[in-house]
């Protein structure tokens, strides 16, 4: 296979689409797997691939025990690559366009309930400056439904305290404007008062910095959340992404406005947001089971 086209496609994802290193790595892995499959079938050119070839690849991955969502991602990578090849006039059609992955049950994201969120953000000692920073980070993440990478990439100029809003750069280098809640604003104001003591370079742009005065890393954010959870005896592991899931679920429970939640989360496709409707239904079902006289379990005969 001609690897030059594959390398130029991956370079385009970085330089033009501004995809994250993690996303580019997924594309590279998926397409290298597909390339190996083609070589095993002695297919030498991208233009020799047809619908049956791609279907055989998907079937092989299924036999290897891969889940439907994994195969769907791999097929999506192949489709995107062939769209690129069509634009480059290397091929004339997309052989992966109609190939479907086997369906698997959607795994619903784990969330915290509002009581757990309240417990997580209980008042802490103001003597610990790092805890003040941590509370500002996680209040902001929950307040506005931020991804971990979005939180870490925030700059001082990203936040407008007076207007209670911020601008976030998400996947695909897309920006969106988000409201910031009162609790998050209060926590941010406390952090901003002490932030100068942590910044060693006056031109440091990062909103959240480490003890070394540099932009805080993804790993450090997770580590600090783990420490906060342990100090509050929350009783379950909470990832940064769970705070984002909790934001979406609680907002949808209160408003039922799926389109608004989509915009706030920065989802390109509303079908991605619709998974939260399943969570919302679970919540309603629990309320029904507890409240409806014909649904409640008898406590005694």
Contacts of 188 (CB under 8 A, 6+ apart): 136, 139, 140, 159, 161, 180
- State the pLDDT at residue 47: 92
Contacts of 196 (CB under 8 A, 6+ apart): none
- State the pLDDT at residue 1: 64
- State the pLDDT at residue 300: 45
- State the pLDDT at residue 50: 93
For residues 111 and 243, what is the distance between their CA atoms, to the nearest angstrom?
7
- State the pLDDT at residue 233: 74
Q: Hey, what are 204's tokens?
A: 């440091």
Count the Cβ atoms, other than its own, within 10 Å of residue 45: 11
- State the pLDDT at residue 301: 42
- The mean of the pLDDT values for the chain is 85
Give the full edge-to-edge strand order of the sheet including 159-160.
159-160, 165-169, 175-179
Q: Hey, what are 119's tokens?
A: 């417990």
For residues 83 and 80, what is the distance between their CA atoms, to the nearest angstrom?
5
Domains of the chain plus CATH, in order, are 3-87 (1.10.150.130), 114-289 (1.10.443.10)
Spans of the chain, pLDDT less than 50? 284, 288, 294, 299-301
- State the pLDDT at residue 236: 75
Active site residue ranges: 147, 171, 241, 244, 267, 276
């Amino acid at each position: 296979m001609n690897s030059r086209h594959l390398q130029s496609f991956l370079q385009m994802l970085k330089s033009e689409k501004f995809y994250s290193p993690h996303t580019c790595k997924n594309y590279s892995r998926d397409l290298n797997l597909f390339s190996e499959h083609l070589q095993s079938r002695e297919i030498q050119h991208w233009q020799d691939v047809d619908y049956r070839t791609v279907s055989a690849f998907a079937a092989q991955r299924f036999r290897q025990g891969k889940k439907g969502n994994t195969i769907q991602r791999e097929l999506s990578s192949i489709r995107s690559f062939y769209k690129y090849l069509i634009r480059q006039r290397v091929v004339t059609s997309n052989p992966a366009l109609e190939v479907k992955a086997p369906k698997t049950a959607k795994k619903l994201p784990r969330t915290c309930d509002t009581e757990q969120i309240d417990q997580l953000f209980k008042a802490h000692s103001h003597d610990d400056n790092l805890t003040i920073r941590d509370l500002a980070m996680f209040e902001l993440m929950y307040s506005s439904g931020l991804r971990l990478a979005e939180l870490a990439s925030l700059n001082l100029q990203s936040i407008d305290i007076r207007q209670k809003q911020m601008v976030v750069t998400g996947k695909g280098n897309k920006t969106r404007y988000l409201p910031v809640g009162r609790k998050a604003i209060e926590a941010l104001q406390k952090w901003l008062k002490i932030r100068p003591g942590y910044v060693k370079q006056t031109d440091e742009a990062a909103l959240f910095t480490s003890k070394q005065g540099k932009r805080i890393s993804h790993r450090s954010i997770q580590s600090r959340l783990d420490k906060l959870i342990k100090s509050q005896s929350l009783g379950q592991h909470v990832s940064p992404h769970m705070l984002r899931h909790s934001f979406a679920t609680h907002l949808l429970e209160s408003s039922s406005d799926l389109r608004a939640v989509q915009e706030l989360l920065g989802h390109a496709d509303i079908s991605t947001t619709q998974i939260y409707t399943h969570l919302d239904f679970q919540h309603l079902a629990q309320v029904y089971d507890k409240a409806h006289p014909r649904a409640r379990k008898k406590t005694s005969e």
